[in-house]
Amino acid sequence: MPNGCPEEFDEDMATPLRDLSCTSAHPPNDALYTYANNDINNLSEKLGIPWEVSKSIPFRSVVPYLSFSWDLDARTVAVPAEKKFKYLNAIEEWEKKPTHALAEVQRLYGKLLHVSLVIPARRAYLTNLEAMLSGFNNSPFVPHTPPRNTPDDLKWWAKLLRSPSLSRDIPGPVPLMDLNAFSDASSSFGIGIMIGNRWHTWCLLLGWKADGRDISWAEAVRFELLTLFVLSSNGGGTHFKVYRDNKGVVEGWWKGHS
């Protein structure tokens, strides 16, 4: 517009939903739904919209999406058996060679990172592959030897992929309980936590800064202690709000690390 503002056109496209279940032939399973793939295909054909029909997924409560199996009734997401077999084969192929180029590392890392969306704790067993990825610099085609602990990580992954089921609950809205849980650390004294009107302290032992430890380590420990006390006092299955003031600890826990 002359005044520098964009011109906006906003139309209300609302329309009542139509029950099409009786207007066309449906397989018995599709008849359970108000509309199904046949209705979508018939309407799309009239409008000239091409679909790849072979990729259509029948309406049901368990559906594949993003290489996972989503159970809408149980509200769980799982790694399908064929994917577990595929990723297990990728590990076995990797183990046949002592060195690997960048593309090989990226392929295996990508597969295992995908599985960690269902099993988040397994991200801890990707650190050696991540370290290897960062070491190629400008030589992506030169084979590199994996870090020393990489075989142990892959053994964990292989054991996981051989398990009968890999699934997790699909997260949704949950009530959040605020217990007024706080913690703090002091390099000159120690660690303290407070939950409501209860509190506890620990003194840091002389020489605690050895082996590269510093106040960030103490901050991480105090928050872990706070979390353990909250869980031990209230049981599982509940989501709690806790407070901390160290940015490194905060962002580490957001990523699932300590």
CA separation for the pair 247, 216 (Å, rounded) = 10
For residue 194, the Cα-to-chain-centroid distance in whole angstroms is 31
Under 8 Å between Cβ of 109 and 115: no
Q: Write out pLDDT tens, residues 177-187.
A: 999 999 999 98
CA separation for the pair 117, 168 (Å, rounded) = 9
% of the chain beyond a pLDDT of 70: 97
b/e sequence 187-208, b meaning 16+ C-beta within 10 Å: eeebbbbbbeeeeeeeebeeee
Under 8 Å between Cβ of 117 and 70: no
Q: Write out pLDDT tens, residues 22-73.
A: 766 777 777 778 888 888 888 899 999 988 888 888 888 999 999 999 999 9
b/e sequence 221-232, b meaning 16+ C-beta within 10 Å: bbbebbbebbee
Is the pTM for the entire model greater than 0.75?
no
Strand order in the sheet with 198-203: 198-203, 190-195, 176-185, 239-242
Averaged pLDDT for residues 130-139: 91
Q: Among 117-121, 169-173, 187-191, 223-227, which stretch is predicted with the lowest mean pLDDT?
A: 169-173
* Phi, psi torsion values for 185, nearest 5 degrees: -135, 145
Query: Domain map of the chain by residue range?
Result: 1-60, 81-169, 176-254
CA separation for the pair 5, 3 (Å, rounded) = 6
Q: Write out pLDDT tens, residues 220-230.
A: 999 999 999 99
246/66: higher pLDDT: 66
